[in-house]
Amino acid sequence: MAAKVQRTLDTDVLILGSGGAGLFAALHAHQAASRAASPLSITVAVKGLLGKCGCTRMVQGGYNVALAKEDSVERHFMDTIEGGKWLPDQELAWKLVTLAVERIHELENELGCFFDRNPDGTVHQKAFAGQTFDRTVHKGDLTGIEIINRLAEQVWARSIQRLEEHRAVELIKNASGDAIAGVLLIDMRTGEYVFVRARAVLLATGGGPTMYKYHTPSGDKSCDGLAMALRAGLPLRDMEMVQFHPTGLLAGAHTRMTGTVLEEGLRGSGGFLLNGKNERFMAAYDPRGERATRDIVSRAMFSEMRKGNTTPHGGLYISMAHLGPERVRREFKGMVERCADCGFDLAGGLVEVVPTAHYMMGGVEFGADCATELPGLFVAGEDSGGVHGANRLGGNGVANSTVFGAVAGDSIAAWLPGREHRDPDPAALEAALEACERPFRKPAGGGGSLEPVREKLYDTMWERVGIIRDASGLRAAQGELAALDAELDAHAMPDSSRAFNLTWHDWMNLKSLVGVSRAITAAALAREESRGAHFRSDFPQTGSLESSAFTSVRASPAGLELVMKPVAFTRVRPGETLLEDAA
Ligand SMILES: Cc1cc2nc3c(=O)[nH]c(=O)nc-3n(C[C@H](O)[C@H](O)[C@H](O)COP(=O)(O)OP(=O)(O)OC[C@H]3O[C@@H](n4cnc5c(N)ncnc54)[C@H](O)[C@@H]3O)c2cc1C
């Protein structure tokens, strides 16, 4: 029997995801509508519980913003462009650094966040690696909880609808295919299919490179937004740029704590990285030592691990004791406790660490107003691409999601007048339902555990599409990923119940991850140079910065199509700077 939509809802604005991007968008769209005295119905649909899921809540280190008198937005901009190896879209990066100042004031003065302060009352800003100024605003080392709790309270206090534990599964266009009509979701609690018709949709599901063996993002993230955007025919840029955080906790295969991040500030404040023989090694790879950018430190660590200089669990150590255990306990309370939970003494001893997949610089191509190529569809946060280029500075992630979330809310409110609801293409809706139903249509014999698929995906992405890549490994990965996709398509659900069927959702997670992994692999194969987070051992040099181009991949009936598009140097060219004192 054909699957059917069991519930239909109409809303003006549908926001997918409740991280920094989704919640800021909801608040700003609501505020803009109130100002214009033309109320909007705004709905936030989220795979988890609003305020309790996603990665913004997990932000530890903090938020980059040029607040200090001696700092400037130009300096923040230059750090972002140079850190991103001249690949960022300069208009997006400029918007990031200038609007971060507004957003941090809004977070403090309107939303009620308390950030750490200096004795003179100014906001404390700490050092983060790869930056020329200490500009990271924070709340101890658990900044994201402060931000998300305050944002969630404000959303709860307003007439903003919530669809919690509702998973978006497909972006549905109108019959002519030239605009978005709404989104097909699954109510995870009941298993019902829900179609939400919306005049505008924001994609803010937060990317999340959870296809790698070691990864930091929250378990609800499986690149669903990017997979949906690909299926909708949208271009994704910079997909080869996957950031590995150097210091993932390594506590053994039995615990999900393995892979979770120990914050950047540990290295920023002077922490040492040691190999299995207790030797510091970073100086051999970069003169900045442990304070080099994440890509360099992760690559150095991976190389050291490949040489076999490893700890009992096969990683390396971070050591903080030389800074004084009391200071470490005071400044990194959350990290000390996290390590203690896994049997490590961060303040006075050694902690095992491994590079861990942390962030995707790549995402949906978008304009400075957060609009995508598909009318009515907007994007913000980690689902979007182009702000960070080849490398994201620590502290620019939450700035990105909050800045562009707010931009999206404002832009959507400004875009809506005169735009009506569109009806969904019935054939597209039916195809999306059938795609979800696929594992229930297979003969029961095709079932079994999905763990082997996940393990194979982890291995392929870690070994072949990870920190160090080459053409033969990437080509092998293409074959392996195609085989995994086919394996998933043949998989049968052992249980026919749709209500809270976590195996079914896991199957969908893996489908999204494999689809997006194929886009990462295609982009990595196309970039025949090494730059930022992307390192090709067969092309170790960085090409000409003047002719910088970004990868743009989109799905077509013939497969993935990849083109290189030139970067427009709209504000500054390689070799130049916006800093007067350095010019
Ligand atoms: C451990 C950790 C520490 C970090 N520390 C820092 C830091 O110190 N500084 C910094 O700048 N950045 C940091 N980051 C990065 C930062 O968290 C992200 O850049 C940013 O907050 C992402 O915001 P977002 O709104 O795009 O996504 P998220 O906050 O991840 O939100 C995504 C939302 O989408 C929902 N969702 C996912 N799939 C679906 C679906 N199919 N349907 C409906 N909803 C869906 C999720 O449930 C979630 O609510 C850190 C990340 C991690 C993982």
Q: State the distance from the centre of ligand 1 to the C-alpha of 148, rounded, in angstroms.
A: 11
Residue 325: both structure tokens together? 């255990």
Q: How confident is the model over 99-134, as pLDDT tens digits? A: 999 999 999 999 999 999 999 999 999 888 778 999
CB 202 within 8 A of CB 408: yes
Q: How confident is the model over 216-236, as pLDDT tens digits? A: 999 999 999 999 999 999 999
What single string gives the DSSP state of each residue in 478-498? Answer: HHHHHHHHHHHHT---S----
Residue 478: both structure tokens together? 């293409």
Q: How confident is the model over 400-442, as pLDDT tens digits? A: 999 999 999 999 999 999 999 999 999 999 999 999 999 999 8
Q: Which pLDDT value is given to residue 407?
A: 98
Any idea which residue has 């160090």 for tokens? 468
**CA–CA separation, 122 and 109 (whole Å):** 14
Q: State the distance from the centre of ligand 1 to the C-alpha of 58, rounded, in angstroms.
A: 8
Q: State the distance from the centre of ligand 1 to the C-alpha of 371, rounded, in angstroms.
A: 20
Instruction: Look up the pTM and report it.
Output: 0.96
Q: Which pLDDT value is given to residue 97?
A: 98
Return the closest-CA partner of residue 477 out of 465, 487, 488.
465
Classified as helix, coil or strand, 477 is helix
Q: Which amino acid is at 39?
A: P
Q: Could you identify the atom of ligand 1 that is nearest to the CA of residue 264?
A: 8
What single string gives the DSSP state of each residue in 267-303? Answer: HHTT-EEE-TTS-B-GGGT-TTGGGS-HHHHHHHHHH
Residue 244: both structure tokens together? 């590995």
**CA–CA separation, 140 and 158 (whole Å):** 29
Q: Which of 398, 403, 504, 512 for a ligand 1 pocket mutation test, highest count of atoms within 8 Å of Cβ?
A: 398
Q: Where does residue 421 fall: left (phi above 0), alpha (psi -120 to 50 degrees), or beta otherwise?
A: beta
Q: Could you identify the atom of ligand 1 that is nearest to the CA of residue 61?
A: 8
Q: How confident is the model over 81-96, as pLDDT tens digits? A: 999 999 999 999 999 9
Under the banding of pLDDT at 50, 70 and 90, the label for residue 292 is confident
Ligand 1 atom 33, closest CA: 17
Q: State the distance from the centre of ligand 1 to the C-alpha of 415, rounded, in angstroms.
A: 26
Q: Could you identify the atom of ligand 1 that is nearest to the CA of residue 260?
A: 1
Q: How confident is the model over 6-65, as pLDDT tens digits? A: 999 999 999 999 999 999 999 999 999 999 888 999 999 999 999 999 999 999 889 999
Ligand 1 atom 29, closest CA: 19
Q: How confident is the model over 56-76, as pLDDT tens digits? A: 999 988 999 999 999 999 999
Return the closest-CA partner of residue 355 out of 250, 265, 460.
250
C-alpha distance across the termini of the chain, in Å = 70
Q: Which amino acid is at 189?
A: R
Q: Angle at Cα 292 formed by Cα 288 and Cα 298, nearest 5°?
A: 130
What rounded mean pLDDT belongs to the chain?
95
Q: Which pLDDT value is given to residue 60?
A: 84
Q: Which amino acid is at 46?
A: V
How many residues would you count in the chain? 583
Q: Cβ of 486: how many Cβ atoms within 10 Å? A: 11
Does position 556 have pLDDT exceeding 70, yes or no? Answer: yes
Does position 345 have pLDDT exceeding 90, yes or no? Answer: yes
Q: Which pLDDT value is given to residue 500?
A: 95
Q: Which pLDDT value is given to residue 253?
A: 84
Q: Which of 205, 267, 360, 379 for a ligand 1 pocket mutation test, highest count of atoms within 8 Å of Cβ?
A: 205
Ligand 1 atom 36, closest CA: 205
Q: How confident is the model over 521-533, as pLDDT tens digits? A: 999 999 999 999 9
Own/partner pairs for 535-540, CB < 8 Å, 24+ apart?
535/295, 535/299, 535/467, 535/468, 535/469, 536/469, 536/470, 536/471, 537/468, 537/469, 537/470, 538/470, 538/471
Does position 376 have pLDDT exceeding 60, yes or no? Answer: yes
Active site residues: 245, 267
- Considering only residues 293 and 146, tell me which one the structure prediction assigns the higher pLDDT: 146
Residue 18: both structure tokens together? 């409740």
